[in-house]
Amino acid sequence: MTLILSNDYVERLLTMPDCIEALELAYLEMAEGRGISRQRSDCITPTTYSEDAIYGLKSMDGVVPKLGVGAIRINSDIVTNPLIGNTHRRVKIPAAPNDRYVGLVLLFSTHNGEPLAIFPDGVLQRMRVGTTNGLGIKYMARENARTIGILGSGWQAETQLTAACAVRQIESVKCFSPNQENREAFCARMTALLKIPVTPVTQAEEAVGGVDIVMCGSNSLDAIYFHKWIEPGMHLSSIKKPEIEPDAIRAAHKVVVHTHDTAPILVIAKGANFKEQTKDPGWNAANKIDFKKYPTLPQLIAGHVPGRENDQEVTCFLNNLGLGYQFAAAGSVIYKRAKEQNVGIGLPTDWFTETVHP
């Protein structure tokens, strides 16, 4: 049987500690050359949804032989890039029937090739991003780090804080995002969830001043953290390339990136209004950084390169591009837990296999 799971199941089955453990193990496999991941690829075209939107068909995959799984993550997206405040934002539109998004993870067995499970990508998407930045904190932030300043209060920001609190004994958080209602609601929710004070502030500089860890968890296409805000001993963290100003990245004593792949493979149709490729947004300012000169997170976890060496160093982790490999690693945990708890809907595997030679 091939297991069909909903986001509700995924949220119940995958805990942050489980996700951290799975990805940490998988990154060790990758550092030793046994786990592999294919660079993300995006096909971008115009869409009839609106003139300022684009259609994106995105795929990414990876295989973790030690866990016996491979996965492919597929997104079918309607995307806009509105100007909110002073920065462009990347906003996906729930344009599918019943105001829904479209993203799927397909999990396969490396033992016999069969499709093991199919589930939406949304909950796992933010869990694997949060986990990855949490591992950056585990290996790079000061052991005595107790305070966080976070820029962003959206979907990704919640798991950023959850992961940080899983690897450090965090005592307080300050949060800034441009929308007052959103940040106040976020802070109230996270205070209840994490059992520590998460306080809304009215300026970005106030959020990141005097803290041990700075986390960027926004949908901005422009820089939101700047060189002038750096303080000795800080750890800086971002969920994508443009959030931290290039001068701030260069000022860090140690920088680690997620992957040496600097961008997805882009295939863009004529007439597509793809703002991430224009010269205006800060997205392309990050291209001034030579990401390939920095060590990767798998190399750091495997001990191939040193992490923080003293409490005065400024360290920086850039989650510059996601990996399909993460979906395989965390997907294996979801599948294992689902089988143990006998949850999900089983469909005949014959529906997803064939007798015709592919």
66 within some domain: yes
Q: How many CB atoms lie within 10 A of CB 266?
A: 14
CATH code of the domain covering residue 43: 3.30.1780.10
Q: Are residues 7 and 107 in the same domain?
A: yes
Q: Which amino acid does the sequence have at 293?
A: K
Q: Are residues 149 and 92 in the same domain?
A: no
Question: pLDDT tens digits for 109-152?
Answer: 999 999 999 999 999 999 999 999 999 999 999 999 999 999 99
Which residues are within 8 A (CB) of 127 and not within 5 positions of it... i.e. 6 or more apart? 14, 16, 19, 159, 330
Q: Is there a contact between 14 and 120 (Cβ–Cβ < 8 Å)?
A: no
DSSP class per residue in 7-40: HHHHHHH--HHHHHHHHHHHHHHHHTTSSEEEEE
> Which one-letter DSSP state was computed for residue 222?
S
Q: Are residues 299 and 340 in the same domain?
A: no
Taking the C-alpha atoms of residue 300 and residue 314, their distance in angstroms, rounded to an integer, is 16
Q: Are residues 60 and 74 in the same domain?
A: yes
Q: Is the pTM of this model over 0.85?
A: yes
Label residue 292 exposed, middle or buried (CB < 10 Å: 0-12, 13-18, 19+): exposed
159 within some domain: yes
Partners of residue 53 on adjacent β-strands: 80
Q: Are residues 163 and 255 in the same domain?
A: yes
CATH code of the domain covering residue 193: 3.40.50.720
112 within some domain: yes
Q: Are residues 156 and 244 in the same domain?
A: yes
Taking the C-alpha atoms of residue 70 and residue 327, their distance in angstroms, rounded to an integer, is 8
Which residues are within 8 A (CB) of 98 and not within 5 positions of it... i.e. 6 or more apart? none
- Alpha carbon of 193 to those of 95, 189, 196, 201, 231: distances in Å? 31, 6, 8, 19, 29
270 within some domain: no
Q: Are residues 105 and 179 in the same domain?
A: no
Q: Are residues 51 and 109 in the same domain?
A: yes
Range of the domain at 192: 129-263+275-318
In which residue are the tokens 């933010």 written? 126
Angle of the 155-167 helix axis to the 16-31 helix axis, nearest 10: 80
Q: Are residues 194 and 295 in the same domain?
A: yes
Tokens in use for 157? 């920001």
Q: How many CB atoms lie within 10 A of CB 251?
A: 15
Question: pLDDT tens digits for 218-263?
Answer: 988 789 999 999 999 999 999 988 899 999 999 999 999 999 988 8
332, pLDDT greater than 50: yes
196 within some domain: yes
Average pLDDT over residues 289-303: 94
Q: Are residues 75 and 193 in the same domain?
A: no
- The pLDDT score that the predictor gives to residue 277 is 57
| CA 357 to chain centroid | 37
276, pLDDT greater than 70: no
Q: Are residues 303 and 348 in the same domain?
A: no
Question: What band does 279 get if pLDDT is binned at 50, 70 and 90?
Answer: very low
Q: Are residues 149 and 96 in the same domain?
A: no
118 within some domain: yes
269 within some domain: no
358 within some domain: no
Number of domains in the chain: 2
